[in-house]
Every structure is written in C-alpha cells, then in structure tokens.
Structure 1
Amino acid sequence: MTRRIVRTGIQLGIFSIFLFLLIVFVDNRYRVLPNAIHSHLPAHHPGLVVTDLEVVTCSSINPFSKCTIDGPDWHRINKDLYLGKGYVSSAYLLVRRKKEDDLSAHEEVVTDVRIGRIQPSSLDPTSKDQRWESRRAGIWIKLSSKRHESEMVTGVDVLFGPDAVDPRSNWQVQDLSLFLDTDRDSAEPRLTVRKGPAQKIEKPVPRIRKDGKFKIMQAADLHLATGIGKCRHALPENQPCEADPRTLDFAARLIEEEKPDFVVLSGDQVNGDTAPDAQSAIFKASEMFARHKIPYAGIFGNHDDEGNLNRAESMAIMDGLPYSMSTAGPEDVDGVGNYYIEILARGSSTHSALTLYLLDTHSYSPDENHYHGYDWLKTSQIDWFKSTSQSLKRKHKEYTHIHMDLAFIHIPLPEYRNPDQQSWVGNWTEPPTAPAYNTNFKDALIEENVLMVSCGHDHVNDYCLPALNKEKNPALWMCYGGGAGFGGYGGYYGYHRRVRFFEMDMNEARITTWKRMEWAETKEGLEKRVDEQIIVDGGRVVTGM
C-alpha cells in the first residue's frame, strides 16, 4: 500500500512537471509565432528616439527560451524574421527607444543604421561624438551624443522581400537584408528606418480638372505578395515572369500613359496565402501611387485578410499613408471600409461634383449550409448607404452642373448574373461568383440614383451590364474591373491582364469607360482602348451607343 502511494505520488509529480512545462512551452510558442497571433504593434511613436537595436532568437522546443530583452524601454517588432519558416526557431528585432526629454545629458542616440559584414565608413572617422557599433544579423548602428532633430533615428520597422519599398515620408529601406542563418529559406527581412520627426499626413483633395474632366483608374485584384510572388497563367507562356514586378510595371505604365486623377483599389490587393507580411505587400502599391502623386482609395476582397493582418489592421496602415484616402468607416456598420469620397468641382469650389461610394463585401458565406459561396452586403451597410446618400442630396444640388454618384465593391452583386437578359459589353469568361443570398443592394443603388457600380473578384470577367429599374428601364451599369495582378489566376483562354478606366466629362454629365491590356500581339494592341463605350450621358444611363 505504501509503495502504491509513493508510486502514485511520483506519477503525480512527474505529471505536474510535465503540465507545467507544457504550459510554458505552449505559452512560449504563442509568444514567438508570427503576427498571425500577435496584434501588429507600431514600430515608432511620436516624440521617441531610438537608442539601440538588437536581434534576438528563441526556440519553440526550449520552454525557457524567449524572444525578449530584459530591461526598460525595449520594444519588439512583432514580425518573425523567418516568417514562420525557421522550423523550431524564430527571430525578432527589438528596438530600444526613449522620450527625448528623458535622456540624460550625454546619453547617446542612434543617428544611422546600416546592414553589412564590415563596419560602414563614417563621414568623419576622427569625430569623438559618434561611433559605429555592431549588432547581430549584420546590423551596424551609429551612436552619437549630439542630437540634431533631422539626424536622430526615430523609427525602425521590418519589411520583407528584395522588392520591399516604404511609401512613408522620412522612411528608407536598407539595401541589404538582415544576415540570418543561410540554411533556412530566407524571407529577406529588411530594416526600414525613419530619421527626424514624423511627418503629418494630409489627406489629398481630389478635384475636377480645369477642362471639366476627371479620370478614375480601377485597379482590381492586384494580388501582391510578400516578396516578388509567383506568376499564375501568365501570357505569353514562353515569357519569363515575376508576378509583383510585372503587375506593378503594368500599373505604372498605365498611370504614366493615361494620367488618371484618382485610383480605386477594388479589393484583393494582397494575395493572402503568399503574403505572410501583408504590410510589405500593401506598401508596394502605395509607394507607386505616392511616387506618381495620385490620390487613391481601397476596399478589401476575400483574400486581403488571409495573410497576417485582419481588415482593421490593414486599413489602419492604409489610412496613414501618403495620398491615401482609405478609411475604416463607421464602427456601427458591418465590415471595414464603408465610406464615401467627394470629388470637388474645378477651381476653388467647395461643392461636390462626384461622389464615390466604397463598401466592404466581406469574404465567405457565414451560412454555407443554406448559401454556398460568398458573403453579402449587410442591412446595416445598405441603411448607412441610403441615409448617407439622402443626407448629401441637398448639398449636391448646389453644384452648378449635374452631380453624379458612382460605387465600387469587390464581390459582384447577384444581378451580375443577368436575370433580365440584357446585352453586355466585354468578356463574360467565367460564371459570376456573386453571393447566393440577395439583400437587394442593386435596388438601393438605383433608388439613390447611383449610375454605375464596378467590382473585381472574377478575374477573367470584364463586362459592363445594364440593370433595370422597376419600370424595366436601364438605370444602373454594373461593370467588372478585370484582373490586373499576376499573383492571382487569369490569363487563360487568351484573356490578358487588364485595367478599367472611367472618364467623367462634367461639362456633358457623361461617363465613358474602357480597358487597357497588359500584353498584346502588337504594340498597337497595347495602346488601344478596348470596349470603349459611353454609359452615362446627360446624367442618365444610356445603352447602345
């Protein structure tokens, strides 16, 4: 009996130790996993300066291993530098930062950061006020006791890929990636560094041009990755292809040739399953628009939040970027990214000439048993849209010409399936993957006199289709943008990547739309506008022109 009690006690003791280690092990594993679990922490704060950097590693098989540094003022950038590909190990960048007012009289601050195997050459190697120190992973920091506002490092972040860019003011991506263990599938983590104080981001004010026209470029389904990405269904088939560079080159070429006044990103900017760091993907498109000084706004598709950031986190990033007019919208409305943008009349007028409504069409059906496929616009969104539209109508009447309303979504409405058997213009290459459940948002658009709605989602559809009102008259154009990105499917059956444009001539209250191809057999094919048509004239929907 005594032996049995002792044996039972030993077993309980072993079990307790095992349970304790398991808890620590699981907790440690959750601490070191990539940002899929951790919320995205900011890499910088106003009024703080960086005093040190360090890279730390930890192991999921060692319950006592942790990716932290003891001591005050250390903050971890919550991005695993291996992006989850380090088998049992993870690595993180830690930044030590302080309020400038809390620094002691001669305390050093970081004034430069470089990546390399040898010490960077200093502009003044004889200076006693600055010196280079090495840190893990090839990081070199320049420390100085002199504090010039424009020279102090005030923010450090991590991006990934050889094509990493940073659209934020005062930020610069390092030329070399961090030196991590070469036996791993390197994710090419790169530091991006800000010097000087944070720049205030002013929202742009889009306005009708002096000639009375305004051109919108709808970039649908870019499907950008973390890194250069992989091409899918690229045409021509014998041509080398890197997905993201080719997608961005295409978009940049059209920006330079078409000179749009505004860009709408209609969802799936991020290719979720190849974007373990969605911020790096978001930044690539944003940097292009900032470089060309074009205002833009974005909504989300079903793939944007399949990486490491949810919709709210992604929108928080987009909302703070130069030239971005993207915003989350009301908190009491379903989804993230329900908002409108006013395009002001030409000159110095404060009157709206165009209103763009952008709505979140969510992702996958919440009720697969009854409604297979994709989610639908919710009642709160339709109510918000109708109340917003009605509240703006009085103000819109002050515009001296005909005011026009447009809308953009990602997933097509059920009426894109053409229940009224209307003729369409463009390519209908795949069945529209609209929701099975219909909340009749099309009727709300018509009731509020929205003249055109355009979506993305189905990459190899690019048609425009008229929808009828209750009197069976054409009252709304429903268009597709056509897939633009090489990271998503497309390009089969001779269908090439494309981008749709809308040009509003406010002098005639006319809307003309067309598409531009990424590739064609001849140069003339690239320059040609495809399926150019007038869809609105005199402020009314027209067909057959």
Structure 2
Amino acid sequence: MRILSKKYLRVLLYLALAISGLFWYRRLTMYAHPVDDAKDQDTKKQLAKTWLQTNNLEHWSGSKIFVVNVGRKKCYHVGKLLERCFIEYEMAPHTAKHAERKLISKDLRGSYGFNWFGVSEYVFYDTLSIESLSSTDEEVYSQLVAVHSISNKKTLNAFEWIDNVFVEAVRILPNLSIDNYIISNLDILFGEDCVDPRPGWQLNKSWSFSKGRFPSFLSYKYLDHTEKEDYTKQLQIRRDGKLKIVQLADLHFSVGKGECEDEFPASDNCEADPKTLRFIEGILDIEEPDLVVFTGDQIMGQRCVQDSTSALLKVLAPVIERKIPWALIWGNHDHEGSLDRWKLSEFTAALPYSLFSMSARDTNDNSFGVGNYILQLQGSTEEKATITLYFFDSHSYSRSGKIYPGYDWIKEAQWEYMRERYDNEYSKHIAKDAHLSMAFFHIPIPEYLSFQSKKNPNEQNPKVGTFKEGVTAPKYNSGGIFTLDYLGVDATSCGHDHCNDYCILDDSSSRKIWLCFGGGSGEGGYAGYGGTERRIRIYEFDTKERAIYTWKRLNGSLKEKFDYQPIVSGGVPNFE
C-alpha cells in the first residue's frame, strides 16, 4: 500500500535535493577568501607602488600573479547531474585573504562525463597578485610561500601533491625578484600528442601527471617582470594588393591521437590527428597564407569530454607557431566536449594571433550564437577598405525538429544585425569601386542546392568541383542570401559536408554569388562515398584586379593544385 502519492514523493525528493545543495554550497563557500572592497582602487595602486619601491621590486607590474597554494579535490558524481566534492589535500591552506582560487575543471581520472557513477579528481591552485602584497601585514607576507617547481622527483623540502607528484615551495621574499623562478599559472593537458603553443607556457611531457583515461601532463608559466608581449598581429593586404586565405574545414580533432574514419587511400596504422596535422603544416608552408579561417568542427566534441582545450590547442598550434593571423567559427560538434560554445569562445579570443571576436549581441542559448563578427581590411595605400569578411555562427541542430528536422540555421536576427553594422559602421569605409567581400559559416544555407537557375529555369547554374553527398542544409530558409546580396558579398564558403567541395554560382538574388564548400580536411571525420581524399581550399584576393581566385590541394599530392578557378573578375562574380 502506497503511503504517499507520486506527487508528494516528487516534492519531498526536490526538497531533499534543495537542502542538500544548500548544505554543500555553504560547506564549500564558508572558507572562501573575503574580498576587501574598503580601499579605493587608486589608493591601492599607490600603496602597491610604494611597497614595490621599498622592496626593490619597482620593475614589476603590480598585476602580476604567482601561485601560493596547490591542492586536489576528490568528487563522487552521478552522471553529469550531481557531483559532490571535498578537498583531499592542499599545500598551504588559507595563505592570504586576497588569494584567488582557480579550479582546473578537468577530471584527471576521466570518469566525469563518461560513467553514470564514479569518482572524479581535480586539481586547484591559489594565486596572489604582487599588488595585493602591499595590503598584507608584513608578518603575514614574510611567511608566505610560492610554488617554485612541480616534478615527479622528491626533494628534501617537497610536498607530495598527487601520487608521485611533488611540489617545492620557496619564501616569496627575496625570491620574488628572480625571473622564471616562481610559477604564475598552471594547466593540465591530456593525450600523448598534446601540445601547448601559448607563448611562455612550458609543457612537461617527460613524466605523466596522472594516468587516467588519457595520460595527463602539466603545463605551467613562470613569473617574469617583462610586460606582456602583444601577440596580436594586424591582418593586412600585401603591397601587391593580394591576400591569401587558407580554409580549414571539419578537422574533427580529439583528445589523444584519434581514430581515422574512412581513410582514403587506406594505409596501415593511421592516426587521425597526427596525419591531419602533417597535412595542415604542409599546406601552410607551401601557400604561406596571410589568414587562416577555421570553418567549424575543429574538434569532435564527443571525443573531447575530458578536455576540449587539449584538442583545440593541437588544432591551432600550426598557425600560432607560424604567427599567422586566424579567424574561426563554430560547427555543430565543437561544443559537445568539456566546454560549451561560450567558454570555447572566451578561450579562443584570448589566444595569440586570434581575430575571433564575440559581438555585443552574442548569446549562449542558441538564439543568436557566438562568434558573429566582421573583419575589414585596407591596402597599404588605400584609405578605404578593399576587403570585408563576414563570419556567422550557424548553430548546430534544429530546435524545431518536428517542423524543420535536421540542422539549425543562421537566425533572422543575425542577418539583421549584420545589416545594421554594415549600414551604421562598415559601409562608410568601403571603397565602392574596388571592393571584394566573402562570408564564412559552417552549415550551408539552402541556396547551396540551387543547381537549377532561378532566372533561366531551363539552365543549370555553373558548378566547379565535386557533388558527392546530399547537401545537409537546414529545411528552413531564413533569407540569408538576400542579406549577403545587400552586403555586397561576392562568395561564401562553408564546411559541414565533408565530401562536397564544389562552388556553385547562385542567381537567387539580384546579383550572383558563388557558394563554395571547403571540403573535409580532417581524418577524424567521415568521408566515404566511394572514397574521398582529404582536401584543403585556398582563396586569393587581388584587390588591384578586383578578382578572387580559388583552388584546392589533396593530402596525397600537396604540390598540385586542382579545380583552379577565378570566381570574381573585375569586381563581378562570374564563370569563366
């Protein structure tokens, strides 16, 4: 006999969960370091300056941080729904009231996100800014320690942090004045092929930090007094009026080396990410582009549940190491790993040579997307812009599946936003008689299916390249082709369909627009359809001739161009 109805049982369950959540929230936050808001910021800066001078540290910036504590958390989780954690160890708890705790949200054991029930483990560290030392009692900061080294070798004064991982700490003073002696930042990367191209970061792969689902390795930065180098690089048109873009579509990188899918031609012992990286590096060295555009599905989210950044840093390493400016848009798989679209975007925007940006209207709820932006370039002698590039987030899967099943689309609000920015800002700077423009997105718009001419129904629209698989454009048409026409876009390029690499000259709007596929580049994504070799598309703008040219290269024959075609001549999209 049931004592309580299902309705009351649910109420009791929700109440118990709420009380439990409140209890653990109070438990975890009761030791949080208080924030001192009493002093005015200007006063703080002046105190910091005086303190630095007194301690012969005037060459340091007060905003520099250093690690004063490390620790680990052990957690029990139920899927991704519930995770309860407790601090298992920390080197120097409550070192200073101004310390900021940073949790590296990457499960060392590789259980969270993979198992329904399990034990997860995380590391955290506390940082202190040099500026905050000025408001710390001398008796306190004279006893403070900072992390000097982390290794698998035990020394006399080392603490054991994780099994067979030892931390050595030193007094902050006088060691603070020594460059590259005190650690300022920490990260964990996964997979035997992981890399860290971020300037100043040192990835130590001589020993494994932890052996979970994938081996993990410690990456760290040392404190130094030099000002942060400017790793932005202005995108410029060459003196000869040209700009070359390499498009990298559907790389599908993983944590670890990844598995090859539909490799063609087949080989023994194929490793997806290393093979794709060799292809990318070969193309970059041959073409020497001015800009690289990643058009979505850089990483295969389901294979990055443990850590999306480990896979993404592998993708971006070739361009960062070559100091090539790069832009990026997201696909339908990037956000399926450990980081959502918003966190991926924040991480990406801060990387060296990144031109990626988040607009004021961007959202993380799929209503507007993340990464809708414009790049405008002018030549060395021109006052007006001669090239404009548009980037759109095409989202992932339709939220109106019963009415419009399949993939999502660029929203009307996004198209309208670009029109507004064009009218209010960018159109004023365009050289009307010498301007070229392209747009990039991941999922093709419906007009990629416009094989039949709209203006001449008995004719086929010109097409160059391979049409091998069904075009997976959304079922709903948000009218983007008319906005592209309004913006003066000459050509678009997308990814998503790995085995299509054609360009088609669409005549749906008042002016013709070339709609191109990049073609799949990564061995970690599907291919098939009778055998499809990975390929990379290149675009070259010539602002003096008002022309755009495009061609492709195959993984197995890097030195040979194919499907070379001028898609714009004299400022007009046409077919020759």
1:270 counterpart residue number: 299
Contact 1:491-1:497 at 8 Å conserved across structures: no
Q: Does 1:66 align with 2:66?
A: no
Secondary structure at the aligned position of 1:381 is classed as helix
- For residue 54 of structure 1, the aligned residue among 71, 83, 86 is 71
Q: How does 1:269-308 map to 2 (within 5 A)?
A: 269-276=298-305, 277-308=307-338
The change in CA–CA distance for 1:243 and 1:447 in structure 2 (over 3 A counts) is: same
Moved more, 45-54 or 455-464: 45-54
In 2: Cα distance, 1:503 partner to 1:65 partner: 53
Q: Does 1:210 align with 2:247?
A: no
Q: How does 1:388-399 map to 2 (within 5 A)?
A: 388-390=421-423, 391-397=425-431
- Structure 2: runs of 5+ lacking an equivalent: 5-11, 29-61, 454-459
Contact 1:170-1:199 at 8 Å conserved across structures: no
CA deviation vs aligned residue, 1:215-261 (integer Å, no higher than 9, x gap): 00000011111121111111222332111111111101100011111
Q: Which residue type is aligned with residue 270 of structure 2? A: C
Secondary structure at the aligned position of 1:528 is classed as strand
In 1: Cα distance, 2:389 partner to 2:267 partner: 41
In 2: Cα distance, 1:18 partner to 1:440 partner: 45
Q: Which residue type is aligned with residue 231 of structure 1? A: C
Moved more, 352-361 or 166-175: 166-175
2:228 counterpart residue number: 199
In 2: Cα distance, 1:478 partner to 1:212 partner: 24
- For residue 348 of structure 2, the aligned residue among 313, 318, 325 is 318
Offset at 1:95? Answer: 1.0
Q: Does 1:76 align with 2:103?
A: yes
**Number of aligned pairs?**
496
2:199 counterpart residue number: 169
In 1: Cα distance, 2:161 partner to 2:504 partner: 60
Secondary structure at the aligned position of 1:113 is classed as strand
Secondary structure at the aligned position of 1:168 is classed as coil
Q: How does 1:343-382 map to 2 (within 5 A)?
A: 343-346=377-380, 351-382=384-415
Q: Which residue type is aligned with residue 278 of structure 1? A: S
- For residue 188 of structure 2, the aligned residue among 141, 158, 165 is 158
Contact 1:433-1:458 at 8 Å conserved across structures: yes
The change in CA–CA distance for 1:529 and 1:26 in structure 2 (over 3 A counts) is: farther
Q: Which residue type is aligned with residue 90 of structure 1? A: S
1:253 counterpart residue number: 282
CA RMSD of aligned residues (A): 3.2
The change in CA–CA distance for 1:25 and 1:381 in structure 2 (over 3 A counts) is: closer
Secondary structure at the aligned position of 1:88 is classed as strand
1:527 counterpart residue number: 559
- For residue 154 of structure 2, the aligned residue among 98, 119, 138 is 119
Contact 1:206-1:344 at 8 Å conserved across structures: no
Q: Does 1:138 align with 2:164?
A: yes
1:36 counterpart residue number: none
Offset at 1:296? Answer: 0.2
Offset at 1:498? Answer: 0.6
Q: Does 1:341 align with 2:341?
A: no
Offset at 1:336? Answer: 0.5
Offset at 1:176? Answer: 4.1
Q: Which residue type is aligned with residue 299 of structure 2? A: V
The change in CA–CA distance for 1:227 and 1:160 in structure 2 (over 3 A counts) is: same
Offset at 1:209? Answer: 1.2
Contact 2:73-2:85 at 8 Å conserved across structures: no
Q: Which residue type is aligned with residue 66 of structure 1? A: F
Q: Does 1:481 align with 2:518?
A: yes
CA deviation vs aligned residue, 1:127-170 (integer Å, no higher than 9, x gap): xxxx5443223322232222124422111112211122222221
Contact 2:187-2:218 at 8 Å conserved across structures: yes
Contact 2:362-2:372 at 8 Å conserved across structures: no
- For residue 534 of structure 2, the aligned residue among 474, 497, 504 is 497
- For residue 327 of structure 1, the aligned residue among 357, 361, 370 is 357
The change in CA–CA distance for 1:500 and 1:17 in structure 2 (over 3 A counts) is: closer
Moved more, 156-165 or 297-306: 156-165
